[in-house]
Amino acid sequence: MYSYRGRYLVIDLTTRTAEVAELGHSLLKDYLGGVGLGTRLLYERCPEGTDPLDPGNPLIFASSSLTGTMSPASAAHAVVTKSPLTGLLGDSLSFGNWSLSLKSAGYDALVITGRSDTPVYLWIDDDYVHFRQADGLWGKGASETSKSIRSQAGDGRVQVAAIGPGGENLVRYACISNDGYRQAGRTGCGAVMGSKRLKAIAIRGTQPVSVFDGDEMRRTCAGLYSRSQAARKQNFRGLGTPYNVMLLNRIAALPTWNFQEGAFPGAEDVSGEKLADTCLARVVACPTCPLGCEHLYSASHRDRDNSNIETALDYGSLSALGPMCGINDISTILKAALLCHSHGIDTISTGNAIAWAMESFQKGILDRNDTDGVDLAFGNGEALLQMIDLIGRRAGLGSLLAEGVMRAATVTGRDSDQWAMHTKGLELPGYDPRTMKTQALALAVGLRGGYYNRSSSYELDMVHILDRMESQTGWGKLNMEQEDLAAIFDSLITCKAMRDSFTNFLPEAAGLYTVATGIEMSAGDLRLAGERINNLKKVFNIKHGWKKADDWLPPRLLQDPVTFRESQSVVLSPEVLRALIEDYYTARGWTSEGLVPVTKMRELGMADILEEGNS
């Protein structure tokens, strides 16, 4: 096979065994790789009713058709598992050298099941798989774990993905880190890894990836590299994703004080411009990426204890740990991000959970008896840092917040679910859907819960392709198309930041796939693959307990208006949201109950799982 390896590794931590399984052309063409391949393997291997933290829940790392080739921004892998936050499909992407190692070790995927009786780490050296004791690493941060394993190996080719204490302590939004600063962050895959007592996966891969048509691959990629340098990318390169702070603040879509407002009075103090002026240490790029969005910041000049801080901070982390918690001090936000990375917990869910606790404190639902005496007021930076530490250690109030806002509100009661900002259990990202109506639909029906980039519909709102204040018929189809495109990006895998570098994405990406793999792919085949992947996600969710009521938004977003330009009140009504969802189900060809009909599954070539269809 070209580019693909045609096989994956199945590891059982209970029996400490490993075996290789084959992957055929047709399955690879149908599900592409990355999130698509991971979803397919999860569907086959995760029985109905499996608890996400039980040994039977597979933890899947999936490479893709383009990883390891020269295709720009393709050094990536997907992590797919049943999410401990949502109980539904969980998927997350990460980029870096570890992704390349997985492919060069000779595998398109790793499927890990079981639970070790003592902490272990996996040592994968091409065809050799070893189970090594990790007692001495348990309790350490992911970065420290990686350094320790790499220095012991004494070989720079060894790459490590690891969990921190948050994963060991089963924080439901723990992540898996690789390359020191990259994370598969959302939906809690780190907790699943911790539940298996698997501290790390170290890989030394030495087998080069060959492509079907090297000359054509070079020509195609040269065009993409060249177009990626266009002027409109300058802000992205210069400021990174924190560029979005002022943009979203202007349109009242910057969630503030736990979504109580959509604009933050301290926005300028935490803007991308401010960060670039005062704290930027260096800009780094994932392997093969011509864009380099990853900005590392230092806050040493403002740090009270004078210690040096250098950390990655993207818009999602910044908005959750900043305006959501009312924090307008950059140094505190950088420390908070660093602390999350060191505990190995997702910054967005962490910030969101603390914002929920701050509002509960504001309303008198939680008091100092619940917070160990901490004044958990919005804007209190010390309180933010204390809470992050408690969450990572699952101590005090941190143990409740480690469950995520949906469960924390259920346990706390007293109407605190009214300000628990999640869909399907996944904490919402930093885009207020009241002033971004396409995004409202995307968050409500999101197949892994509320997140912005599994549809990229927020782009339609932000670039004014649509009137973001008013919903219209046809948005269901637009959101479906955006979701299917996102599934293609996440499965090929190519970073979505490259989307503007394609002139006509479907035929160009299909061509790229063909020259890499030698497998014929047309634009229509590729579009169908995106649709198939999303339908399979939906079928998985239905099998694992999804209900129509799960496709909805938190009460606050449908009851409370948000202020736009100091005087205009903007609302999102339940009627509007319901109409958008119906429009979306119709566009998808699903029933009015949101189920996938047998005819749709046949149309998408999913006959092999028809017996488990749902309507």
Contact set with ligand SF4 (CB under 6 A): 73, 95, 285-286, 289, 291-294, 495, 497
- Cβ count within 10 A of residue 545: 12
User: Considering beta carbons, is residue 496 or 527 the nearer one to ligand SF4?
Assistant: 496
Residue pair 430/324 in contact (Cβ under 8 Å)? The answer is: yes
Residue pair 167/176 in contact (Cβ under 8 Å)? The answer is: yes
CB of 103 to ligand SF4, least distance (A): 16
User: Considering beta carbons, is residue 182 or 588 the nearer one to ligand SF4?
Assistant: 182
Residue pair 30/65 in contact (Cβ under 8 Å)? The answer is: no
CB of 93 to ligand SF4, least distance (A): 9
Residue pair 448/454 in contact (Cβ under 8 Å)? The answer is: yes
User: Considering beta carbons, is residue 43 or 505 the nearer one to ligand SF4?
Assistant: 505
User: Considering beta carbons, is residue 102 or 291 the nearer one to ligand SF4?
Assistant: 291
CB of 175 to ligand SF4, least distance (A): 15
CB of 41 to ligand SF4, least distance (A): 24
User: Considering beta carbons, is residue 361 or 505 the nearer one to ligand SF4?
Assistant: 505
CB of 27 to ligand SF4, least distance (A): 26
Looking at the chain, how many residues does it have? 615
Strand order across the 159-162 sheet: 128-133, 120-125, 198-204, 159-162, 176-178, 182-184
Beta strands, E only, 59-158: 59-62, 76-82, 89-95, 109-113, 120-125, 128-133
CB of 572 to ligand SF4, least distance (A): 30
| Residue 348: closest CA among 314, 380, 390, 376 | 314
User: Considering beta carbons, is residue 137 or 286 the nearer one to ligand SF4?
Assistant: 286
Using DSSP, state whether 571 is helix, strand or coil.
Answer: coil
CB of 294 to ligand SF4, least distance (A): 5
User: Considering beta carbons, is residue 171 or 293 the nearer one to ligand SF4?
Assistant: 293
CB of 225 to ligand SF4, least distance (A): 12
Spatial neighbors of 66 by CB under 8 A, at least 6 apart, are 3, 33, 74, 492, 493, 494, 512, 513, 516
Residue pair 97/75 in contact (Cβ under 8 Å)? The answer is: yes
User: Considering beta carbons, is residue 7 or 496 the nearer one to ligand SF4?
Assistant: 496
The whole-angstrom separation of Cα 477 and Cα 217 is 33
